[in-house]
Structure formats: C-alpha cells, structure tokens
Amino acid sequence: MNRQTVLVACGAGIATSTVVLDHLEELIERENIKVELVQCKIAEVASLQSNADLIVASTILPTKYSIPALSATAYISGIGIEELDKEILSYLKK
C-alpha cells in the first residue's frame, strides 16, 4: 500500500492546524497506518491537492477540491471527535 498524504489546513497554517495535526498524529500511530501529514494554509491547498489524498481543514473550505475534504471542527470543539476519526480512517484504510 502506498503512503497516503493528508493536507492539514487552517487559515494561517499555524494555530488550529497544529491542534488537528497533533490529533491526527496520535490517530495514525494508534491505528498503525502510514500517512504523511502536511500542515499548510487553506490558501495553499488548491496547489497542493494534486499530491495529496485527503484534506482535513479547521477553517471554512473556500472551494471544491479534486480530493475529499473534511472539516476538522470536531477536533477544535471536542464534539464529535470519534465520528470524525472514523470518517478519516475510512479514507485512509482504503
């Protein structure tokens, strides 16, 4: 299986994406799957999507993308974390 790439984005690519990145690192380690996580600004996602498999963003998605894009607000609010984990894993375990 090829290593998948997940873009982890927020408005500035620093604050909330770091929270999401930390959670995803724990999740992929716990599930023992190989995933490359790329932290970025939401404005960079369009140019990076061709080399990625999934977008997980903690900000509003400004457009449609050619790959699946999920909102990571559950990781920020603490509500719905398990459901979001399952949804992300459904993409990564294909």
Buried b (16+ CB within 10 A) or exposed e, 8-19: bbbeebeebbee
List 8, 10, 21, 92, catalytic entry = 10
Distances (CA, A) of 9 to 1, 20, 36, 80, 94: 25, 9, 14, 19, 22
Examine the residue annotation and report whether 10 is marked as an active-site residue of this protein: yes
Q: Name the residues annotated as catalytic.
A: 10
